[in-house]
Amino acid sequence: MIEVQLVDNQDNPIGVMEKILAHQKGELHRALSVLILNSNNELLLQRRALGKYHSPGLWTNTCCSHPYPGEDSFEAAKRRLQEEMGMSADLNFVFKFQYKCDFDNGLIEHELDHVFIGVTDDTPHINTDEAMAFSWVSIENLEESMKKNPNDYTFWFKIIIQDYRNKLKAYI
């Protein structure tokens, strides 16, 4: 059983809940998103595996997950980058934001997402339970694709790119 850290609106821990139950009830919990750039200033995207219980087959940031209860988000980001994409990089915390999304399957993603950025030219070795493909793209091509094909991307990734572009500028 995988558990997530429930938090209040200020990101203070307030409890622990089984991950699937938190998504069924729409409870606010801590999450993380990692964005990896290469030396060409291209962003590494992953296409979520078809077996994922929400957003299967959609393109998203390099990796996204939840820290274990009591686990530091920075350490969790490094761990998940290795587990999902088979790579490591020096990561920098950039910002956090809160979002809520109701999915067609009845699940509710209600997360306080910690966003990290790193740089590496390493080749990903994807965990096929997590991702079915990867692609390096320029931010300009990504933004154009998001405008043309918004349903190809995860809800939270569109928020990161569209609403927080200025906070990412120092890194891209």
What residues act catalytically?
Answer: 64, 111
61: nearest Cα among 103, 115, 125:
115
Beta-bridge partners for 109: 101
Q: How far apart are CA 142 and CA 60, in angstroms?
A: 11
Q: How far apart are CA 23 and CA 54, in angstroms?
A: 10
Closest CA to 63 of 71, 144, 103, 73: 73
DSSP state of 61: S
Tokens of 83: 């587990």
CA proximity to 58, closest of 160, 158, 151: 151
- Residue 99's Cβ-count burial label (10 Å; 0-12, 13-18, 19+) is middle
